[in-house]
Every structure is written in C-alpha cells, then in structure tokens.
Structure 1
Amino acid sequence: MPLVSLPQSVHPNLPLTALAPMQDVTNLKFMKVIAHYGSPDYFFTEYFRVNETSRLNPNILAAITENNTGRPVFAQMMGESIPDLVRTAKQLCAYNIAGIDLNMGCPAPRIYRKQAGGGLLKEPAKVDRILAELRQAVHDRPLTVKMRLGFENGDTFFQILDIINRYSIDLLSLHGRTVLDRYHGSVNYNLIAEAVKRVNCPVLANGNIYSAAQALSVLSQTGAAGVMVGRWAIGNPWIFHQIRQALLCETITPVPLTEVRHYIDRLYQTPEAPNIPERARLGYLKLFLNYIALNVDSQGHFLRLMRQAQTEVELFKVCDRFLVADTTQTLALAPYSGI
C-alpha cells in the first residue's frame, strides 16, 4: 500500500516542524497561542483515550473542529483495544483531521501499566495487529505513529520499525529515550538516525530540542525529515519561527522579555477564567511558567519566586519584576543550565 501524501508544510523547502502532543497543554487555546508566535508545520492533539466505553472527548475534539490556525491537526489516540481503536479512528476520520496518530510512547505509569502508550513497545505482536487493523480502517489519509526507542531498552526497536514498514505508516515521530527513561538522561540521536535509514516514511526527531541551534544539530546528526518540539515550546513559543530562521541562515530575532510578559497574559486570559477558582488558575499558569522561567533568569530567582506566589497579584508582581522592569532584556536562545 503506498504512503498517503502528508499535508503541505509552511515552507516546502525546509525540514518539517511539529508541536508534540502534551496532555493538558496542547489544547485548542495553546495551539492558537503558538500560532500567534509562529506555527509549526503540524499540530497533534492531546490523546483521545480509547477503551470499551470511550467516546470522543469534546474538549479535545474542539482542537480540530474549532481550529482556525490554518495548520493541519493530527488526531492522537491512546489505547490497546483493537476494535475500539478502529472504531475511534473511523469516528475521527469524519472530521477535518490531517491524519490519525497512534501513541506508543507515553511514559506515564498509569498508561503503560494498562499496556497502552509506551506499554505497547513490550508487545511487538500486538503492535502488528493494531497497525494492520488501523491501516485498513485509515486508508485515505495519513496514519502516523509516535513512539520511543523501547520500553526498558531497545530490544524491540528494530522489530517494531519493520512492522511500521509493513503497514506503510506515513510519518514516524521518534523520541530518542526509552519509556522508563521518561524525560531524564541523554537522548540517543544515533538510534533516531538508524530509524531514518530503516523506515520508508519521514521521521520527526523528538527529545530535548530546546533551541533552534539544537534543532539544526539534531537534523544534521539524524538525517530526520524534521523535528518535533514539546516542553521547550512551552517556554519559548517563538521556537518554530526561530528554527525556520536558522534553517534559512537568517539571524534569529531577539524576543524582548516584555513580549514574554504579553505571552503570559495570552496564556492566562480565557473566557472560562472567571469560573475557575484562583488556585486552579494559578496552578495552570505555573505549569507554563516552570518552562518560561528557564529562559528568563540564569540565577533561578524568577522560578523560585514564581512558585512561591499564592495569589494572582503576587504572581503578576513577580512577572513584572523580571519581565518588564528592564526593557532591554531578551529571552535566552536556550534554557539556562543549573537551575
């Protein structure tokens, strides 16, 4: 079966960029915020949890049906029940999606203990059955896979890559760590390079791509068709625009910290905000500030004081102190080490 054509990229002559799917982060609101600062080529939804009783989550579905970013959105599924994965894929294909993405890399124990997400990497035979059924169900648009190098080690890695070839998967997003590595330790870009040579589809390199310079380095090391950026796009939503500037050999435009302050306002201002308790709103914003702070203050004071803030007034005073007081300061091009 021939591969299905992938959606057009922002810049056809450049490697692909994608925002990695992150649960409770990559919702419709965040996609719109990212798009304001420079869209990636592709978006991926949070995962639709698939089981015997699952229905399409309306909040995640909104990232598809109400998305006005102008960029393609892949619908990500997480599950291990083959009939229900097929059922859900067919339901999602009724919407304007760029393709169906199967998550085989989630490192959350509550997921992999149910043999879903990264847990599937322990069962190549199950992966074979799932992809066979999904390929038959999803035949007129891309079927993509997001995975890691393996569960505990890379014992099943090449076997699963061969299965990906068998069913003509259209795009592979590969995080260069194992499931049990979670987000710690070094990323094995050499194995991503091996995957690029072995599979017949484009590969997006994923894992610790924290800057435009790092993106170029990873593309050079791996030969990948593009990069997928996750957590570091939270701290620097300009990163996709910066990657394109670097690929075009342009000087990366500095981002004033005053613009970072406006970014925080964009994250915080939502129609439903008045109906959410202040504590919950603060917790949501701090999730993003944990990453933003790493590109703002090399000493870690912003990170510490932000985490200590108990009210909106306190939190925004901290933000103003570090982001507005000195208008000459700019966002670092890479996270500060040692914080």
Structure 2
Amino acid sequence: MQDVTDKPFMAVIADCGAPDYFVTEYFRVHVQSRLEKHILEAVTENNTGRPVFAQMIGEDIYHLTRAAKDLQAHPIAGVDLNMGCPSPTVYKKQCGGGLLRDPQKVDQVLGALREAVPGLFTVKMRIGFQDTENFDAILDLVNKHEVDLLSLHGRTVKEMYRSQVHYDFIKRAAERVNCPLLANGDVTSAAKARWVLDYTGAAGVMVGRHAIRNPWIFRQIREDQAGLPVSKITLHQVNRYVKDLYAAVAKPHAPEQAQVNKMKKYLNFVGQGVDPEGKFLYEMRRAKTKQQLFDICDRHMPEDGDALFADEPYSGVIARPNCES
C-alpha cells in the first residue's frame, strides 16, 4: 500500500503476526526514475523474518526492465507489477490500473518483464478499467508470459473501493490462470478469508487496508485455517499497537502535528473497529498533539479494560481510504 507498507510499518505488523510475505510500496518507474531509497530500505533492512517482493508501477517498457534488473542486486523475493492502482493521477498516465485499457501494451510489458526477471515475477491487477471487457484476454496474457502469481482485486479501477467486491470474477480467474491466485478486496477477518477461499477456489488471500485496521489478521487467518480458536483482540492491545506504530513511524525532526496527522492515516482504519458510533474517529481526527491523540486512545481503549476490538468493521463507520490495496 502506497505511503503505508514501509520498513517501520512492516516491523510492527510482523510483531503482531506477519503475513507469508510482504510487498513494498511501489517504485515509480519512468525515464528519470531511480530506485527510491526509502522504499528500498524495506528490502535491504528487512528484519521481519518474511520475504519482501519489490513492487513497480509504470508503463515505459525500457525503464521497467531497467528497474527490474536493478532490483536483482538486492535481496528481493521477486518483482511485482502493479496493474491495479485506481488513483486518477496514476491511471491517466497509463500506469497501474490504466494498463488494463490496453491488452496489447500489457502483452508487451509482461513479455519484457518476464524476460528480465529470472526469479519470481508476480502481478497485481483489478478485473478491468471501466468494465470487464478485457478481463479474459489479460488473464490469457498472464498465462502466456508464465507469471508466477497473480493477485486480483475484485473491482474495476473506476469502482475504486465503493462497490461490492465481485468475487465471481475472482473465482473465474482462479479457474482460468495457470499460476496460483490470491484474492484481494474486503478481506476483513479470518471468517471472511475462509468464505472467500471456499467460494473462489483461490490459493490464498492478499490483505491490504484491513491489516492496518487489524494487524493480527494474518495470525487469525492461520489459526482459522488450522482449525484452532481464533484469537480475540482487546481494545487494550489495539491501544498498544497504536502507540508502537507512532513510535516506529516517527521521524526524528518532524513537527509534532505532522506526525499526529500521519498517524490519522492509520487510525482512520483502526477506528472502524473501536466503537460502532464512530466517536473515536470523530475525536481522533481533531487531535493536534501527541498527548491529545494518546488521551483519546486511552479514553476509548483503556489500558485496564477487557473490551474487545470488533472482528469486522462496524457498519457505517467510514475509514476514508487513501491508499492502494
């Protein structure tokens, strides 16, 4: 997730129960680009104990292959191509989800990257741009170029995060592609992950925004898949997670209010499971200092309490998503 899955965020998530692997923020690839150092740190200074895939976004074939080759000098698990980002500033440049409008260009990009990447080459995409007209054709290109793994978000680019997820298209893709497929989109809990896997036949799930809300979700999914009781998370634990995350992502010389505002990006999601009325979100969004923010957390998620964090987001409590997942 852009501006989220950096080195400190990955470390905090790993302490709660790491996923099988992480994917970096995307490296922006264009004629003047170089591998961004702050993104590369998530690979070169990875202390999570899990593999990290390097994600790229772009449309210039020469420079995409250049970046893919440059990444081979670092301890990446593989190279991931983003063909799903729904941000208008991205797709208007024919990058991310914008590529889905042009199967011929997708054919060229996948072919060039498959040749340039000797190890694992993975792709993340959505089911289409405006509609699903090119869906099957692009899945066939995934097969043609022997992509090693496909992550599929079950909405079109234009649907952003507003519509219901079209799990029937994920099921259709799982039946059509030769590689393992990960289902992505509204995987909100261990129970939802089980339903998605059973319905779609996918090999696994990719969790984005809901790992910000609930960093224990990967551990819970493993417990559920193993037939074990699923861990219940208390609001006390969530309070500690918020404070650990604040400490992890803090910049040494950043103004306090800038750091508080940065935390609100994460807390927009966390707040979906704190209270059904959204009172925590309302108060949190108005905090200006670290102390004000922590006081709000302590009031809604007391350290000495045993109230539980919601397994699923409370209905109607809106997170205002601002990251690609």
Structure 2 residue 210 is the aligned partner of structure 1 residue 237: no
Are residues 1:43 and 2:19 paired?
no
In the superposition, the TM-score normalised over structure 1's length comes to 0.92
The whole-number CA distance in structure 1 between the counterparts of 2:303 and 2:28 is: 44
Q: Tell whether 2:230 aligns with 1:252.
A: yes
Cα deviation per residue 1:163-187 (whole Å; 9 max; x = unaligned)?
0100000000000000001111100
2:291 matched residue in structure 1: 313
Q: How much has 1:315 moved relative to structure 2?
A: 1.2
Count residues in correspondence: 317
Instruction: Name the structure 1 match of 2:81.
Output: 102
- 1:290 pairs with one of 240, 262, 268: 268
Q: How does 1:132-281 map to 2 (within 5 A)?
A: 132-139=111-118, 141-270=119-248, 273-281=251-259
Match of 1:85 in 2: 64
Cα displacement (A) at 1:325? 5.9
The answer to whether the Cα contact below 8 Å between 2:193 and 2:205 also exists between their aligned partners in 1 is yes
| Matching residue within 26, 29, 49 for 2:8 | 29
CA deviation after TM superposition for structure 1 residue 274, in Å: 3.5
Q: Distance in 1 between matches of 2:163 and 2:128?
A: 15
Q: Is contact 2:9-2:248 (8 Å) kept? A: no
Identity value in percent: 54
Deviation readout 1:4-28 (Å, 9 max, x if unpaired): xxxxxxxxxxxxxxxxxx0000001
Task: Please provide the CA RMSD for this pair.
Answer: 1.0
Residues 12, 248 of structure 2: 8 Å contact kept: no
1:331 equivalent in structure 2: 309
Moved over 6 A (4+): none
Report the alpha carbon displacement of residue 270 of structure 1 after superposing the two structures with TM.
Answer: 3.6
Cα distance in structure 2, aligned partners of 1:253 and 1:85: 42
- SS of equivalent residue, structure 1 residue 314: helix
Q: In the aligned structure 2, how far is the partner of 1:272 from the partner of 1:77? A: 26
Contact 2:250–2:259 (Cα < 8 Å) also in 1: no
Q: Which amino acid aligns with 2:86?
A: P
For residues 273 and 163 of structure 1, the distance between their equivalents in structure 2, rounded to whole angstroms, comes to: 43
Indicate whether 1:322 and 2:306 are aligned.
no
Distance 2:151 2:54 in 1: 14
Moved more, 231-240 or 326-335: 326-335
Within 2, Cα distance between the matches of 1:145 and 1:325?
42
**CA positional deviation for 1:272:** 5.1
SS at structure 2 position matched to 1:308: coil
> For the Cα contact (< 8 Å) 2:80–2:121, is it kept in 1?
yes
* 1:74 is the counterpart of 2:44: no
